[in-house]
Structure 1
Amino acid sequence: MVVGEISQERKLIIIGGGPGGYSAAIRAAQLGLSVTLIEQADMGGVCLNEGCIPSKVYTHVAAKRSEAAHLQELGIGSSDNLLDFQKLSAYKAKVIHQLRSGVESLCKVNKIELIRGKATFLAVDKIGVEKGHQFDIFEFEQVIIATGSSPILPTKMKENGKRTLFPHELFKLEEIPKHLIVRGQDYIALEAASSFAALGAKVSIVIDDKGFPFDESINKELLRVFKKRKINVHKEMEFVSTNETDDEISITFLTDKNEEETIHGSHLFVSGTRKPNLDSLGISRFQIEQTVEGFIKIDGNMQSSIPSIYAIGDVTEGPMLAVKAIKQGKAAVSSIVGEKTEVDLTFMPVVAHTIPPVASVGLTEQSAREIGLSIRVSQFALGGNGYATITGKKDGFIKVISDSTTEIIQGIHMIGEGAVEMSGSFVQLLEMAAKEEDIKFPHYAHPGFNEGLLEVVEGLIGQAIHAKPYKNS
């Protein structure tokens, strides 16, 4: 290792080129700051290269494959419905390359200095960057840590072998698993179960006693859809063990009937828990404030207990989602240039690209009742929507929870085609504290899934046109 004798000065350094890091870098450049971005692997981070993007390629093709029967009904395609897995893998690689190149190009046109290497803190205002035999030292005014997180196996599980897969490993398989066992019920696990079942794998999903993470009505519908698609759902009350051989892997657990059950499969997928990527940075010796779990504590400006150090994304508490990292990254640089900023995670949408997709924003019916709100609830089945009938996407519904006293919308939940795209409107409505009339007054394109939102709110007072009369809650 050759250590540079002279340290170089920088205004703002961002460590990590994932969605939070590169968004922060571009926003900083737009605000007139000189920016240095350090990334030791591929630009775009886990999200672009191993997580969000490759997984959504699979959920996309799975959704298309699930349309085969409807397309045949329309006179399109044949009954073969074959999947060329090599072409799918090539398409995934092309998408990742295109998006990664786009990020690199955006950094270049915004005149962001991109340094490849591994960063380590030498002081609260100084880092070293190692690349091979080269070691450069940089002094900075501010630094933003955006190094993300890594998966770890849940408690009691053994170190994973070749048949135990984390998310980034699942989407690198060279063939469809014969029998995929999915352990977990977060959005990643649900997407894996849904998509691989549609791609032709036998799928069993093992969930804990808490069940699916959405509104209870959504959970029941998702369970119905999974059973309809022949996805076996098992409830685990207590994990016992896993056993892996050259030919298969098995998982043993106690069921809700206190009986031991063992499932045998070709692969076991575990979405797992994640830990922040901080150990190699060496920040602990500066006594920076961290949580018991190891996350960096930050204030409303994304600033840590050390004024020169900011942190965003998975290294901070809260949902480990790219949308959070992006929002925090923009807020951090706005704070650095003196602008007032705020990151409020109250109405962050929870989505799953299952078949059909799920989107959930705001209070569930159960949580609203638990905090003592007087509510009225409406649910509109997509089977009553004209466009859903045209497209053959009639599974699912939209559900709205409203405060019966103020008529302010408290939660919107949807399972069905268009849920992810419509979630942006759901968030906006809750952010603006929309009332029922704010949803009923505008015009809605016809025919379209969006009409379901109008009908579900009209249904709060029993006036939905395309729904049978029902007694309100």
Structure 2
Amino acid sequence: MQLNNVTLGIAEWRDLIRRVEIGEVREPLVNIDDSDAAPWDAIFVGGGAAGRFGAAYLKAMGGRPLVVDRWPFLGGSCPHQACVPHHLFSEAARELDYMRWNSGTLWFPKFDDSTASILDLISLFRSGRAAAHAFMNWQTKEQLGVEYVLNAEATVIDCHTVNVADGSYTARNLVLATGAQTAHPRIPGIRKRGVFDFASLIEDLDYEPTKCVIVGGSKVAMEYGSFFQATGCQTTILSRSPLMRGTSLHHVDEDLRIFVVSGMRARGLTVHEDSATLEILGDEHVEGVRARLADGAEIVLDTDFVLLATGELPATAELVRTLGIELDEHGFVEVDTQMRTSVAGVYAVGDLIGSPLEMFKARKCGMTAARNIMGEPYTLDLSQYPDFLHTTYEVTWVGLTEQEAREKYGEIIVIQMPPNGLDQPIPLPLAEGSMLYAFTRPEITGYQKAVFDARSRRLVGAHHVGFGAKDAFQYLDHLIKRGITIDELGEMNELFLNPEHFIQLSRLRAGQHALHDL
């Protein structure tokens, strides 16, 4: 279906995508200007965040990109099965948490978790996700001027050539952006009905779970587990390592970790750290999970629902056979700081190159590849970046932990709320989003910590559990990298009540010649 000379509105794009998904339309969706004789500067194999943003950046620099994706829409898994549903579920978990803690008080009715449904939230998401798909297809074509072929599997022939449907396209460069999928561990019974990962959960869940076992301790485990528990589905996490201590998370402060995991347990979620999942039980459908705990004891957990949260791996076998590209020890494509693979003219971006599997990284490394392809040397540093996850809170951090800062700088100071050594809970840190907790459950209002190098007075780490502060951490990351000090923080203007209290707390200490903890 040639669409280059056709202008579809959002509603028309939604209808076309729907027709593809139900099988009414099977042909490729082609947006290519056949009258343009200019050569392709790059073919982006994959139109997720990395491919779409990379192609848009290359086009903005005067190049000619082509994006190819097997799905009938751009944007990849994030709006379709991953990031967007998890944010919806996390918001629902937060609302349900408020209702539980305040059940039967003020204007809150007695909480009845039988009215909260995992299946209803998934259905709500599925009914609305096409809006994002339609917009990205429209914007990429009409506003960004990027050409693409959708609803067609790409076959990489060599480092310059890709076959798509009945066509063959050649470019100066190839950018691999094919993403990653859940790593399925070798556990007996893993193929039974009732075992899901984040993607199949969205597509295939057709019953309301009553009990859940999550295998793995990743962000997915914590975020989806908190949502399931909030709906009243009793949830158990089986993690090989302590939560938030996996290799995919960096710079997690121990005090922050303790507050978060303790909060999950306080809400009824069972967490077995340092455990091993041995077998998924049942005939055709899941009935239980057999596991070995940290003390060596074996248990059987009754359940009708298992979620795999065991990390992700890319499908790279075909790329290795065709191109000979090198992989790292975890199976991801090895790239340098310019996104170049071991094969000249071939770049790799997004989840295909490994951790962090985050949206900002996908977009930035797509941009990095584009700039280098267009002759502008540019490197991407992923050694430090802000990170986050959701439980029923926003959990956000950037920079060094307290322990890492002590090891690096020796003399540090810590400003935190609530401070240690109090004889009763206080409602701090306090801001919009936590006011009801402050007056009803002060012990769960939130937690935050700022870490400073005492000699240079520079902020080197910030850590927060609460509400409304997440966006500030992208700016804190920028300021930390530029060496902002406690004195400069104290001179900034804050909004009252603001969720990240680092500015006013810095002001309480900035006047000290010799800094002390607060």
**What does residue 182 of structure 2 align with?**
151
CA contact (8 A) 2:180 2:313 kept: yes
SS of corresponding position for 1:358: strand
Is contact 1:65–1:198 with CA below 8 Å preserved after alignment? yes
Aligned residue for 2:302, secondary structure, equals: strand
Query: Counterpart amino acid of 1:390?
Result: M
Tell me which residue corresponds to 2:309. Answer: 271
1:100 paired residue number: 133
- Change in Cα spacing, 1:323 to 1:124, as seen in structure 2 (3 Å) is same
- Is 2:449 the partner of 1:417? no
Give the partner amino acid of 2:160. Answer: D
2:428 corresponds to 1:384: yes
Taking the TM superposition and a 5 Å limit, the aligned residue runs for 1:17-36 are 17-36=47-66
Matching of residue 375 in structure 1 with residue 375 in structure 2: no
Say if 2:400 and 2:461, in contact at 8 Å, map to a contact too.
Answer: yes
Partner-residue secondary structure (3-state), 1:26: helix
Q: Is the 8 A contact 1:376 1:460 kept in 2?
A: no
Matches within 5 A, 1:188-337: 188-213=220-245, 214-246=252-284, 248-280=286-318, 282-337=319-374
2:88 is the counterpart of 1:57: yes
Equivalent residues of 2:82, 2:198 under 8 A apart? yes
Q: Tell me how far apart the structure 1 counterparts of residues 429 and 260 of structure 2 sit (CA, whole Å).
A: 19
Deviations 1:283-328 (A, max 9, x none): 4343323324332222222122222211101221432222211110
1:134-156 deviations in whole A, cap 9, x for unaligned? x3111111121100011122355
When structure 1 is superposed on structure 2, of 77-86 and 431-440 the one drifting more is: 77-86
**Structure 1 position 86, deviation (Å):** 6.3
Deviation at 1:444, TM superposition (A): 0.7
Matching residue's letter, 1:108: K
Whole-Å separation in 1 of the counterparts to 2:393 and 2:290: 30
One-letter code of the match for 1:62?
A: A
Total equivalences in the alignment: 454
User: Is the deviation greater in 303-312 or in 282-291?
Assistant: 282-291
Which residue of 107, 114, 117 corresponds with 2:148?
Answer: 114
**Partner deviation per Cα, 1:320-378 (whole Å, 9 max, x = no partner):** 22221111001111112222322111222221121112112111122333446322222
Q: What is residue 128 of structure 1 aligned with on the other side?
A: 163
Report what 2:33 is aligned to. Answer: none
| Residues 164 and 269 in structure 1, CA contact (< 8 A), matched pair in contact too | yes
RMSD, matched Cα: 2.8
Which residue in the other structure is 1:4 paired with?
A: none
Aligned-partner Cα distance in 1 for 2:96–2:511: 37
Structure 2 residue corresponding to 1:88, chosen from 103, 121, 126 = 121
Aligned CA distance change for structure 1 residues 315 and 396 (closer, same or farther; 3 Å): same
Measure, in 2, the Cα distance between the counterparts of 1:104 and 1:162. Answer: 34
Deviations 1:91-115 (A, max 9, x none): 3124311111111011111222111
Structure 2 CA distance for partners of 1:212 and 1:316, relative to 1, 3 Å: closer
- CA 1:30–1:9: 2 relative to 1, 3 Å: closer
Mapped contact 1:400–1:413 kept (Cα < 8 A): yes
Matched AA of 1:373: G
Q: SS of the residue aligned with 1:384?
A: coil
Distance 2:449 2:65 in 1: 45
CA contact (8 A) 1:142 1:308 kept: yes
Map residues 446-465 of structure 1 onto 2, 5 A cutoff: 446-450=496-500, 452-457=501-506
Percent of aligned positions that are identical: 20
375-384 vs 160-169, which deviates more? 375-384
SS where residue 208 of structure 1 aligns? coil
Superposed, 1:4-43 pairs within 5 Å as 10-41=40-71, 42-43=73-74
Matches within 5 A, 1:338-357: 338-357=375-394
Equivalent residue, structure 2, for 1:397: 447
Q: Report the alpha carbon displacement of residue 443 of structure 1 after superposing the two structures with TM.
A: 1.4
Structure-2 separation of matches of 1:85 and 1:268: 14
CA gap 1:443/1:190 in 2 versus in 1, 3 angstroms: same
Q: Distance in 1 between matches of 2:510 and 2:323?
A: 59
Would the aligned equivalents of 1:183 and 1:268 in 2 still touch at CA under 8 Å? yes
- The answer (yes or no) to whether the contact 1:346–1:362 under 8 Å persists in 2 is no
Cα distance in 1 for partners of 2:457, 2:96 equals 41
Unaligned runs of 5+ in 2: 1-36, 246-251, 419-425, 439-443
The residue number in structure 1 matching 2:34 is none
TM-aligned CA distance change 1:54 to 1:78, over 3 Å: same
TM-score (norm 2): 0.80
* Residues 268 and 458 of structure 1: CA distance in aligned 2, closer, same or farther (over 3 Å): farther
Whether the 8 Å contact between 1:461 and 1:472 is mirrored in structure 2 is no
> Does the 8 Å CA contact 2:326/2:333 hold for their aligned counterparts?
yes
How far did residue 163 of structure 1 move?
1.8
Cα distance change on mapping 1:233 and 1:215 into 2, 3 Å = same
Give the Å deviation of 1:10.
2.5
Q: For residue 406 of structure 1, what is the aligned residue in structure 2?
A: 456
The alpha-carbon deviation at position 395 of structure 1 amounts to 2.3
- What is the TM-score with the length of structure 1 in the denominator? 0.87
Change (3 A) 1:90 1:183: closer
In 2, distance between residues paired with 1:112 and 1:183? 41
1:460: how far off? Answer: 6.3
Distance 1:262 1:25, change over 3 A: same
Shift in alpha-carbon separation, 1:231–1:306, aligned structure 2, 3 A: same
1:178-193 paired onto structure 2 within 5 Å: 178-193=210-225
- Find the residue that maps to 2:157 and give its secondary structure: strand
Secondary structure at the residue paired with 2:371? helix
**What code does the residue aligned with 2:455 have?**
T
Deviation at 1:225, TM superposition (A): 1.0
How far apart in 1 are the matches of 2:153 and 2:391? 36
User: How far does residue 184 in structure 1 lie from its aligned partner after superposition?
Assistant: 2.1
- More strand, by proportion: 1
One-letter amino acid matched to 1:36: L
Match of 2:191 in 1: 160
Q: Is the 8 A contact 1:300 1:342 kept in 2?
A: yes
Q: How far is 1:175 from its partner?
A: 4.2
State the Cα deviation string for residues 8-59 of structure 1 (Å, max 9, x = none): 9523211101111111121222222222110011422112211111222111
Cα contact 1:379–1:459 (8 A) shared by 2 = no
